[in-house]
Amino acid sequence: MRRKFCAHKISTLESRIENTKTSFDVCIIGAGPAGLSAALWCNELGLRAVLLERRREIGGQLLWIHNKIENHLGARAANGRELREQFAQQIEEAKFDLRVGINIQNICLDKKRLEIADGETIHARSVVIATGLSRKTLGVLGEAEFAGRGMMESATGDRASFAGRDVCVVGGGDSAVENALLLAEVCRSVALVHRGEALRARPQFVKRLNNSPLVRVYLRSKIERIIGDEEVEAVRIVNSEGCAATELKAHGVLVRIGYEPNTKMFRGELKLNAENYISVSNEGETNIRDVFAVGDVANPLAPTISGAVGAGATAAKVIASRLTATTRTQMILQ
C-alpha cells in the first residue's frame, strides 16, 4: 500500500486504523534522508516496508537548511526544502507505506514490535532507526511558552519579522555567530550570549562579528529565563556561576547551542555512546540482531546527507540479503 505525504490524505487513512496488527518486512523510523533512502531501497529490493515519521512532513533536517546545497553528488538545490522536493518526487512511485504525524507510544526492539497511537501494533522482521538529530534547547522558563511568540526558528526565515528590533542569539559556535551576523544586517541590536570563555566559531566569522557595531557579545554568561507578557520582551542572563543577573531587552531569541541524537526512546535497549548516539557495526547493525541505525543518529563524527543516504541503502541491502538467505533455508527444509 502506498501513501503520499499529503497530511490530509494520511489523516483519513490513519482514522481507519484501530486496534489492528500489521506486519512488514521492515519498519523504518524517521523520514529524513536516511529513512527515505532505506525505504526507496526496500522498494527496489522487494521488501514490504513501512516508514514512520513523527512530523507532519518528511525531510528531517533538510527543512532547516536555508543555504544552497552543492555537496550532495547528483543533486543541487537552492536550499534544503528544494532538495526535499527532489527526494519526494523520487519516492513518488515507490511502493512502501508512508505514515506521517505518527506518535510511537511503545517499542520493543527485541521483538520488533511497535505500538503507535490509535491502537495499532506494527510487527516487523527488521527495524531501521533513522531518527536523526534535534536542536538542543535551553530548558529555561519561558522557552516553550513563547514558541512562535518571539522564540525564533532561524535567522534567514525570521529576520524580516524582527527587522528594526532587539534580538538575542544563544551559542558560541559557527551556527550562532553566522545567525547573529545575519540578524545584525536588519535588527536594531543583537546580543550574543555564550557560556564559554571564548567563541568557538571559525575566525572569519568572529572577525566579522568584531567589526559589527550592532552585536554585543556576553561571554561566560547563560540565559536564566525568557521574560514577556504576550510576547518575548527580555532575557535574564547570569554569569557562569549563576549570579550577577542582568536583564537584556530582546523581542526575539534564537538558540543555537548544538544538536542531540533522537535516542531517548531506545535508552535501555540499545548500546549508545557517551553522547547518546547509537553504536553500530560496519553494516549499521545495533547490539540487537536485525535492528539497524542509520544516518546522523549513528554518525556523530561526519553527519552529511550523502552519508545518511548511503547508510540507509546499506541497511536495506543487508536486510534483503538476510531475508533471502532465510527464505532459501526455509525452502530447503520444507
Ligand X SMILES: Cc1cc2nc3c(=O)[nH]c(=O)nc-3n(C[C@H](O)[C@H](O)[C@H](O)COP(=O)(O)OP(=O)(O)OC[C@H]3O[C@@H](n4cnc5c(N)ncnc54)[C@H](O)[C@@H]3O)c2cc1C
Closer residue to ligand X in complex, CB, 65/235 = 65
Locate 21 and state its grid cell. Answer: 496488527
Beta-sheet strand order (sheet of 246-249): 221-228, 232-239, 246-249
Inter-residue contact 135 to 151 (CB < 8 Å): no
Angle at 45 between CA 44 and CA 47, to 5 degrees: 110
Nearer to ligand X, 31 or 193 (CB): 31
Dig out the grid coordinates for 172 from the structure. Answer: 558560541
Q: Which is nearer to ligand X, 237 or 297 (by Cβ)?
A: 297
Q: Give me the residues that bind ligand X (CB under 6 A), please.
A: 29-35, 52-55, 60-62, 64-65, 69, 71-72, 102, 104, 130-133, 262, 265, 295-296, 303-306, 308
Q: Which is nearer to ligand X, 39 or 215 (CB)?
A: 39
For ligand X, give the closer residue by CB, 33 or 172. Answer: 33
Q: Is 185 helix (H, G, I), strand (E, B) or coil?
A: coil
The whole-angstrom separation of Cα 334 and Cα 315 is: 29
**CB of 144 vs ligand X, minimal distance in Å:** 18
The SS3 call for residue 244 is: coil
Q: Taking the complex as a whole, how short is the minimal distance between the CB of residue 328 and ligand X, in angstroms? A: 32
In the complex, least distance from residue 1 CB atom to ligand X, rounded to whole angstroms: 19
The SS3 of residue 37 is helix
Residues 6+ apart with CB under 8 A from 164: 186, 187, 188
Q: How far is the CB of 327 from ligand X (least distance, A)?
A: 29
C-beta of residue 8 within 8 angstroms of C-beta of residue 93 = no
The helix/strand/coil state of 199 is: coil
For ligand X, the closer CB: 86 or 189: 86
Nearest approach in angstroms of CB 252 to ligand X is 18
Least gap, CB of 64 to ligand X (angstroms): 4
